[in-house]
Amino acid sequence: MTAIDIATATTPTIPARTSRRRGLLRQLIDSKKALAGLILLALFALLALLAPVLAPGDPSLINSTGSQAPSAAHWLGTTAKGQDVLALTLWGARSSLFVGFTVGLVATGVAILVGLASAYFGRIVDDALTLVTNIFLLLPGLPLLIILAAFLPPGTSTVILVLVVTGWAGSARVLRAQAKSIRGKDFVAAAVVTGERPLRIMFREILPNMASVVMTTLLGCVIFGIGAQAGLEFLGLGDSSVVSWGTNLYWASNDGALMTGTWWAFVPSGLCIALVAFALALVNYAVDEITNPRLRSRRARRERRG
């Protein structure tokens, strides 16, 4: 735990100014990395929303002979059972993105609450919350996920719940560190002296000043959510009746797609997960670079100055 304190002490604090925050959005669009990431994300969101239009009907319907290579009729071929892989991938985006972003939002929400409460109240509250956070951080994630999912009744809500339980702690630690450094600033002390209520100070004074950190943890949580959901479902611990990228991979592996050489059954879903995670990571990387000047490359720094 002392190691943590050292780490937080060296984290550069971000100057808290409102003009800076408006700048963040514009800088994000300016950054090529972030722009590419945002476009990719928008594309996937669009595909997920338009799935009923692009591939009407139930995607798990068997409407062809099995294990067909990609062709004009089935752009991405068919599974061993004879389902259209393109339709499965498009519909899979809905569940995967929904679960991923829900997990990200809820987990970040929990992390914000824990982090802010820790930083604002300090003392016993801080000690207790930090202890709980560290225990969750230390317990091995995937095995914990598996035994939780094995005991709970299967379903999408179980998947979300389990992922939130295992995913919030890392963000909480980062947010606590950031909130703690802002808690020590004069304007917070001023707010306390003027008698503002604790909730108002936490959410109106401290939270807006750590927007960029919240953003990076949110993106990190979404990446975690999408990947962990896929992993859970690949192991057969999700709801195998729902079409998602994870269940697509589960069925592909169960039907022996690897051994029979039907690569098109497992490549698209995995690629989609990777692309979404990559897009999120790109945006994350850009936010990091914008808010932490030392990480910017020299060239970019010179350009910005000139």
Residue 256 contacts other proteins per CB under 8 A:
no
Nearer to other proteins, 39 or 62 (CB): 39
Interface residue with other proteins, options 47, 90, 188, 273 (CB under 8 A): 273
Binding mask 211-240 for other proteins (x = CB under 8 A): ------------x---x--xx--xxxx---
Least distance between other proteins and beta carbon 163 (Å): 13
CB 136 within 8 A of CB 168: yes
Nearer to other proteins, 191 or 215 (CB): 215
Residues 146-165 that bind other proteins (CB under 8 A): 146-148, 150-153
Residues 6-25 that bind other proteins (CB under 8 A): 6-7, 10
Residues 286-305 that bind other proteins (CB under 8 A): 294-295, 297-299
Residue 124 contacts other proteins per CB under 8 A:
no
Residues lying near other proteins in the complex (CB under 8 A) are found at 1-3, 6-7, 10, 33, 131, 134-135, 137-144, 146-148, 150-153, 223, 227, 230-231, 234-237, 249, 253, 258-259, 261, 263, 266-267, 269-270, 273-278, 281-282, 285, 294-295, 297-299
